[in-house]
Amino acid sequence: MARIDIERLSKIFPPPTKGGDPVTAIGDISMEIEGNVFVSVVGPSGCGKSTLLNILSGVETPTSGRASVTEGEREARLGYVFQDARLLPWRTVMDNMTYVRDDEGSAATEAAAHYLEMVGLSHTHHMFPGQLSGGMQQRVGIARAFSVEPDLLLMDEPFSHLDAITARSLRDHLQILWAATRKTVLFVTHDVVEAVQLSDRIIILAPGGVVFDDISIDLEHPRRVTDPKVATLQAEILARFEEMHPSSAAAELGA
């Protein structure tokens, strides 16, 4: 059971151009996440969502405040799914799966095979990523993340580069995987509708990287977008989201 502790975190980047202003990716965020929950962080681009994940995974360091990810007494083991699959194009699918593991040999390949089967890609062990479609590559990316049996799974807008149909399938695959393994997931997205379908808890960020709202969702998993209960909740929360991030055409539509 992983635990994320974020205390007054901020991240400010130096100005991109000479004489410009520094960029505040994260203004001041505090949050606690504990247990095997699926948490989404929602906000438009530039809200610091990806930066948050980078800090949690150790790629970036905070400007101030602290963030820690623990599993009991030790540091949590992380899995990471990116917007693009980030598979090594010169290695087979199986080699890509075993690359991120610390063990070797048959233990590694068996584990990899198990997770590939869960996303329906058992037939691709010896194929190269270039031979797979974008959706299939992302499925490998997700299987890879799950296969390291992480305490915490970080997902950075993993479906935003896929077409709607493929994305829907992958959300279903993700729900299946999550139901089977029940990890802690921190899922970053700009799509509130997607967040409502997948998460137990939604944290909405405001521009400047601060928390706007923190909503709990109490529907049972797995959730299908065809379910009217899900759809109603999506409309409600979308309305809440629009209070912070209104559509630029809102006035004209008489909202």
Partner 1 sequence: MTETLAQAAPDREALALELRRTAAGSRRRRYLAVVGGWLAFLLVWWGLAALLGSEARLPSPPRVLQEVREILAGDFWTQFWASIVRVIAGFFAAVAIGTPLGFIMGRSRYWGNFLQAPVVVAGSIPGLTYAVMAFVVFGISFWGPVMAVGLISMPYVAINVAEGVRGVDRGLINMSIAYHRSEQQIFRNVVVPSVLPFIFAGVRLSFSLAWKVGTLTEVFGSSKGIGFQIRRNFQLFNMPAVIAWVLLFCLFMLLIERLVLVRLERRLFRWRQWERD
Q: Which residues contact partner 1 by CB under 8 A?
A: 57-59, 78-80, 82, 84, 86, 88-91, 99-100, 128-131, 148, 154
Tell me how far apart the alpha carbons of residues 126 and 233 are, in angstroms, rounded to a whole number: 43
Q: Are 113 and 166 in contact (CB under 8 A)?
A: no
**Residue 68 or 131: which CB sits closer to partner 1?**
131
Tell me how far apart the alpha carbons of residues 11 and 13 are, in angstroms, rounded to a whole number: 7
Q: How far is the CB of 195 from partner 1 (least distance, A)?
A: 22
Q: Which two tokens stand for residue 99?
A: 């690359």
Q: How far is the CB of 181 from partner 1 (least distance, A)?
A: 18
Q: Which residues pair with 38 in a beta bridge?
A: 185
**Residue 80 or 178: which CB sits closer to partner 1?**
80
Tell me how far apart the alpha carbons of residues 67 and 156 are, in angstroms, rounded to a whole number: 17
Tell me how far apart the alpha carbons of residues 127 and 136 are, in angstroms, rounded to a whole number: 11
Q: How far is the CB of 13 from partner 1 (least distance, A)?
A: 16
**Residue 96 or 199: which CB sits closer to partner 1?**
96
**Residue 136 or 192: which CB sits closer to partner 1?**
136
205 Cβ neighbours under 8 A, 6+ residues apart: 29, 41, 42, 43, 47, 48, 49, 211, 212
Q: How far is the CB of 128 from partner 1 (least distance, A)?
A: 4
**Residue 148 or 215: which CB sits closer to partner 1?**
148
**Residue 82 or 178: which CB sits closer to partner 1?**
82
Q: How far is the CB of 39 from partner 1 (least distance, A)?
A: 18
Please give the order of strands across the beta sheet that includes 64-71: 74-75, 64-71, 2-13, 23-34, 210-216, 201-206, 38-42, 184-189, 152-156, 78-81
H or E, element range at 5: strand 2-13
Q: How far is the CB of 132 from partner 1 (least distance, A)?
A: 9
